[in-house]
Structures are given as structure tokens and as C-alpha cells.
């Protein structure tokens, strides 16, 4: 399964519409996309979220459910153990 760091910037720096939708409708993630964990900056303007899926299209579908109130940056990531394994082959 691939991991993605998703940086969500709340449009107009406003977290209220995001949390209202989450409260009313949930995460709106399609089957096949798994929430791992998240952190929100202390200004309540950005969320750093790790999501997991085998199908990048599932991530794009989830983003479409939120793109009216959130701007997204998506970065494929590895765990530290995966990165260490990849680097170990170089020494």
C-alpha cells in the first residue's frame, strides 16, 4: 500500500466549513482509501494527513469531495523503515 502525506490548506484560512462537513458527512473517503493519522497547525489553517491506498484514483476521488473548501498538496511518502531499507542498498 502506498502512503501519501496530504497537506490541506483550508480556503480563506477558515477551518469551520471543513469541520462542519466532517461532522455532518464524515471523511467522505471511498472504499480502498484508508485514513492513517493527521495533525492540524495551531492556527487551524492547515491539516497534515497521512492516507493509504493501492489506487491513487481513490485519493483523487476523496480530494474531489473537499476541493471546494480545501486546497491540497499530495506527496507520496515512505515510512522511515522503508527509507532505511532503500538507502541500505547503497552502502
Residue 3 has pLDDT above 90, yes or no: yes
Tens of pLDDT, residues 12-35? 999 999 999 999 999 999 999 999
Strand residue runs (E) in 11-78: 33-40, 46-53, 70-77
Residue-level pLDDT at 90? 84
Residue 89 pLDDT = 83
Q: What's the CATH fold of domain 2-88?
A: Alpha-Beta Plaits (3.30.70)
Which of the 8 DSSP states describes residue 45?
S
pTM above 0.75, yes or no: yes
DSSP annotation of 13 reads G
Sole residue written with cell 532505511: 84
The yes-or-no verdict on residue 83 having pLDDT over 90 is: yes
Average the pLDDT over 45-57 and give the result.
98
Amino acid at each position: 500500500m502506498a502512503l501519501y502525506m496530504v497537506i490541506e490548506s483550508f480556503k480563506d484560512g477558515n477551518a469551520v466549513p471543513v469541520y462542519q462537513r466532517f461532522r455532518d458527512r464524515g471523511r467522505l473517503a471511498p472504499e480502498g482509501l484508508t485514513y492513517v493519522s493527521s495533525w492540524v497547525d495551531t492556527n487551524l489553517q492547515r491539516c497534515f494527513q497521512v492516507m493509504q491506498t493501492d489506487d491513487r484514483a481513490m485519493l483523487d476521488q476523496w480530494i474531489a469531495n473537499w476541493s471546494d473548501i480545501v486546497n491540497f498538496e499530495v506527496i507520496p511518502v515512505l515510512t522511515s523503515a522503508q527509507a532505511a531499507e532503500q538507502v541500505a542498498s547503497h552502502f
